[in-house]
Amino acid sequence: MLLPRGQSGVISTVDARGPFRVADFATLAADSLADSGGRLPIDENHATDLSAPNGGPSPARGWMTELQARDDGIWAKVEWSAPGAALMADHAYRFISPVFTTDAAGNVQRLLRAALTNTPNLRGMAALNSRQEPTPMDLLAQLRQLLGLPEAASESEVLAKIKTLATPPDQVAMASQILAPIARAVGMPDGAETTAQTVLAAVTGLAAARQTESSTVIAGLQAELKDVTTRLNTVMSATAKDKAVAYVDGEIARGRVGVKALREHYIEMHQADPARVEKEIGALPTLGASGALQVPPDAGDGKLQLNAEHITAARLLGIAAEDYAKTLAAERAD
């Protein structure tokens, strides 16, 4: 589920934003996909909006290639990347959190992307990894409600009630109204003949299909997927470590101050977040060929710009940063 329909078309939120409204779910789905070129990205925890503007990573974990407007909201068909498929297999996230634009009145105008999350802001979102079709218990509950039966009615009582529905010429319209929502609930295509016999056959067939689902086959597929995911993660981890070692050792060779003593620490951090580590190490000073500390250039106004290492050194020496800058400037002048 990408976007819930909400109560009476009003989508409420957990925080103070919203509420939001959608005039036409089918039009919103079609226009949003068309504007994106047929592919809307899914990232993790809104990295595109929170991490990317600061230079952080925001890889897509999947691409939404089809949007469908349904009775309960908009659903998306997703092509998962290898890391995204692994996250889904591990049940690492429970929900999808959409990103969309609205007008001043809160009317949703376009769906832009979505994020994997465990704390969705929109109320009424369906959890990931759940079956989109009704489970047997859900189906029975829907049928009881549609047929006006009590909640305690058994499956045999539900089927018996359906069998009693007759369709003589003077009751065709009434029977059609009763049977149409039942037909949709069991997955009959729109426009299909909805007599008591055809709907009963669909209900019986659906129940039989579920009873013959092979748990052995499903378990085998799950085991195979887990094995492939494990091997993929191993390869990705080895590649990440090779890149981390190459970068950190390269900075040590350049004379980057403080990196050699924390080599293993920086390698481990680089595997988890390369951009952050490279930014931190890039801010450290280097030693020149003579062993002297390479200080940064002035800002163009004759004042030396101190980096974090210089400010820390001044604090340890117990002198003001401005005085330390004057000392460095004098040494550079000599």
Domain range summary for the chain, segments of one domain joined by +:
3-117, 136-211, 214-284, 293-334
Number of Cβ atoms within 10 Å of the Cβ of 29: 23
Q: Which runs of consecutive H residues, i.e. helices, occur in 155-292?
A: 155-163, 172-185, 196-211, 215-253, 263-272, 274-282
Mean residue pLDDT of the chain comes to 74
In this prediction, residue 230 carries a pLDDT of 59
Separation of alpha carbons 331 and 168, rounded Å = 105
| Token pair for 22 | 């959608």
User: In which band, very low, low, confident or very high, does the pLDDT at 5 lie, cut at 50, 70 and 90?
Assistant: confident
What is the reported pTM? 0.39
In sequence order, the β-bridge partners of residue 40 are 64
State what percent of residues in the chain have pLDDT above 70: 60
User: In which band, very low, low, confident or very high, does the pLDDT at 39 lie, cut at 50, 70 and 90?
Assistant: very high
Number of Cβ atoms within 10 Å of the Cβ of 144: 19
Tell me what the mean pLDDT of segment 319-334 comes to. 67
Separation of alpha carbons 113 and 76, rounded Å = 11
Angle between helices 136-147 and 155-163 (to 10 degrees): 40
Separation of alpha carbons 8 and 81, rounded Å = 36
Question: What Cα–Cα distance (Å) separates residue 146 from each residue in 34, 140, 158, 179, 316?
Answer: 37, 10, 10, 9, 77
Q: Are strands 10-11 and 62-70 parallel, antiparallel or unpaired?
A: unpaired
Separation of alpha carbons 21 and 3, rounded Å = 11
First to last CA, the chain: 68
pLDDT above 90 (res 295): no
Give me the torsion for CA of 124, 128, 131, 133, rounded to 10°: 40
The alpha carbon of 306 is separated from its chain's Cα centroid by a whole number of angstroms, namely 41
In this prediction, residue 196 carries a pLDDT of 60
Which carries the bigger pLDDT value, residue 296 or residue 29? 29
In this prediction, residue 41 carries a pLDDT of 94
In this prediction, residue 137 carries a pLDDT of 46
Q: Which runs of consecutive H residues, i.e. helices, occur in the chain?
A: 25-35, 47-50, 82-89, 136-147, 155-163, 172-185, 196-211, 215-253, 263-272, 274-282, 308-317, 321-333
Q: Which of 103-117, 198-212, 217-231, 302-316 has the lowest mean pLDDT?
A: 217-231
Q: How many residues does the chain have?
A: 334
Separation of alpha carbons 17 and 33, rounded Å = 25
In this prediction, residue 72 carries a pLDDT of 84
Separation of alpha carbons 231 and 188, rounded Å = 41
In this prediction, residue 95 carries a pLDDT of 85
In sequence order, the β-bridge partners of residue 4 are 73
User: In which band, very low, low, confident or very high, does the pLDDT at 197 lie, cut at 50, 70 and 90?
Assistant: low
In this prediction, residue 304 carries a pLDDT of 56
In this prediction, residue 219 carries a pLDDT of 47
Which carries the bigger pLDDT value, residue 135 or residue 273? 273
**pLDDT digit string (tens) for 237-267?**
777 888 899 999 988 888 887 788 889 988 9
pLDDT above 70 (res 69): yes
In this prediction, residue 64 carries a pLDDT of 94
